Amino acid sequence: MFFLENVKMMRPTRIWVVLMLVLATINSQAGILPISGVYQGKNLYVQNPFAGNQKDFCANEVYVNDVKVMSNIQSSAFEIDLSHLKMQEPVTIKITHKDDCKPKILNPQVIKQNSSFQFTSFIVDADHMTFTSKGEKPGSKMVVEHFLYNSWVALKEMNGKGSPLLNNYDAKQLGLDVKQKHHSGLNKYRIKYVDSDGQMIYSQIVEFKSDLAPLTAYPARVTDKLTLSRETDYEILDAVGTAVLKGRGKEVDMSKQTTGVYYLNADNQTIKLYKK
């Protein structure tokens, strides 16, 4: 009522200006571009044209599962970061935009679930890893991944069986001894399915808690040989992070390395060393 009473008191020209400003504000926020799917490890990329005035960009705000993640977007293209989501977690993105333009999502397929494919089981224990899928396409691949040093690392890539019916996989039969890959504490594994068109679908993350004791290495000041508390995969990095040695075993020959600081990556931990 207050607004209407003030409008009545204005001159006709001023009333027209106020109404135009109100309508412009409403129109600038009028559009919503929604998209839904499941998170499969990829971010979305958006093409963001100019609005009708050729000064402002089209998109206003971005919401992921009703949480605002971007605003005041001043770029002709931008990325929507979804990495905080869990694999296979349902996701809805809403991009609010001005009424006289529309942003374009360049890769909507990355959150679209392939309705014909699914992982039906995935089991990991101390000695075995088995998984089952259905709805595979011919020419597809499976990749076993392990979460190490804060990122997913591929352990084994294999050809898919390609049948639309049930496909059973046993990692050991395919040349992957999962018992050797477990590190101490909580392990996380997932399977990546890649079809012949390049579309990727991930399994749920399966966790396995190993009873292995945390790895130790001695001495911390190495002369020739570094001894590990058990046989394991290892990597030696120099002071700037370049890998200088890789292997599997209980002893690491450091005799050919120059004096300085090194880092041992093993058992999902990083241990600082000094080569004398």
Domain spans of the chain?
Answer: 2-111, 118-210, 217-275
Please indicate whether the domains covering 118-210 and 217-275 agree at the CATH topology level.
yes
For domain 118-210, which architecture applies?
Sandwich (2.60)
Mean pLDDT of 67-77: 95
Give me the pLDDT at residue 3, please.
44
pLDDT higher than 60, residue 25: no
Q: What is the DSSP letter of 48?
A: -
Give the pLDDT confidence of 127-144 residue by residue, as tens digits. Answer: 999 999 999 999 999 999
270-275 long-range contacts, Cβ below 8 Å, gap at least 24? 270/149, 271/217, 272/220, 273/217, 273/220, 273/221, 273/222, 273/226, 273/236, 274/220, 274/221, 274/222, 275/222
Among candidate residues 233, 247, 235, 216, the one with its CA nearest the CA of residue 179: 233
Residues of 236-253 as b/e, b for ≥16 C-beta within 10 angstroms? bbbeeeeeebeeeeeebe
Cβ count near 34 (within 10 Å): 9
Answer whether residue 27 shows pLDDT above 50. no
- CA 258 to CA 202: how far, in whole Å? 43
What is the distance in angstroms between the CA of the first residue and the CA of the last residue of the chain? 83
Which of the listed CATH numbers 3.40.50.300, 1.10.287.130, 2.60.40.10, 3.40.50.740 matches domain 217-275?
A: 2.60.40.10
pLDDT of residue 22: 44
Average pLDDT, the chain: 89
Q: Which pLDDT does position 114 carry in this prediction?
A: 64
User: CATH top-level class for 2-111?
Assistant: mainly beta
